[in-house]
Amino acid sequence: MSQPLEPALFDRLFAAAEAARENAYAPYSGFRVGAAVLTPDGRIFAGANIENAAYPQGQCAEASAIGAMGTAGARRIVAAVVIGGEEGDGMLCTPCGGCRQRLREFAAPDTRVHICGPEGLRRIMTVEELLPASFGPENLDA
Ligand code: THU
């Protein structure tokens, strides 16, 4: 298993996702999401969901965060935070199928995804739990 994320590091990731969520553009669903990813050198990249009047063109928060990370030249994710839903609603804002695959591209199977509500952590799931028996870059190495 991966090491538990230090509380101070989790707090920084959570704060980055929280700030990104403030800028979510979700006029159609009203469902605001923020995400943040941590790279091995300690950099944090955040993103929000950005919807579109042509609904399928909307982008998830995780995709925004991973896009920012890749644009900065970073290629590895060692932890992620996703914040969605309303305070105390008890729901899990788990990444959608497409975003599970996006995370998997840059993360290890035991990389932890911290699934949060606005009030804080609700559940931790690994990338392998979110996307078992996944297809990834190694499949193309053979
Ligand atoms: N959404 C995310 O950004 N991330 C998730 O993990 C789940 C869903 C967005 C997509 C859409 O803008 C809104 O939430 C409702 O589905």
Q: Which residues touch 59 (CB under 8 Å, ≥6 apart)? A: 49, 50, 51, 52
- Residue 132: inside a domain: no
Tell whether the model's pLDDT for residue 3 goes beyond 70. no
CATH number, residue 68: 3.40.140.10
Q: How far apart are the first and last CA of the chain?
A: 26
Q: Is residue 24 part of a domain?
A: yes
Give the mean model confidence (pLDDT) for residues 123-142: 96
8 A C-beta contact, residue 67 and residue 107 = no
| CB distance 75 to 55 below 8 Å | no
In the chain, what percentage of residues exceed pLDDT 90? 95
Question: 67 lies in a domain?
Answer: yes
Give the residues surrounding ligand 1 with Cβ less than 6 Å away: 26, 29, 31, 33, 49, 51, 58, 60-62, 82, 84, 93, 95-96, 99
Is residue 91, in this structure, part of any structural domain at all? yes
The stretch 9-33 carries a mean pLDDT of 98
Residues of the domain holding 87: 7-127
From the CB of residue 101, how many other CB atoms can be counted at a distance below 10 Å?
16
Report the half-sphere exposure of 26 (CA within 13 A, side-chain side): 19
Inform me whether the pLDDT recorded for 117 exceeds 70: yes
Q: Does any domain span residue 138?
A: no
| 2: in domain | no
Report yes or no on 136 lying in a domain.
no
Distance 96 CA to ligand 1 centre (A): 7
Instruction: Render pLDDT for 50-102 as a digit per residue (tens, 0 to 9).
Output: 999 999 999 999 999 999 999 999 999 999 999 999 998 999 999 999 999 99
Is 1 a residue whose pLDDT tops 50? no
pLDDT greater than 80 at residue 6: yes
Task: State if pTM tops 0.75.
Answer: yes
The tally of domains found in the chain comes to: 1
Q: 79, 129, 133: which is closest to 106 by C-alpha? A: 79
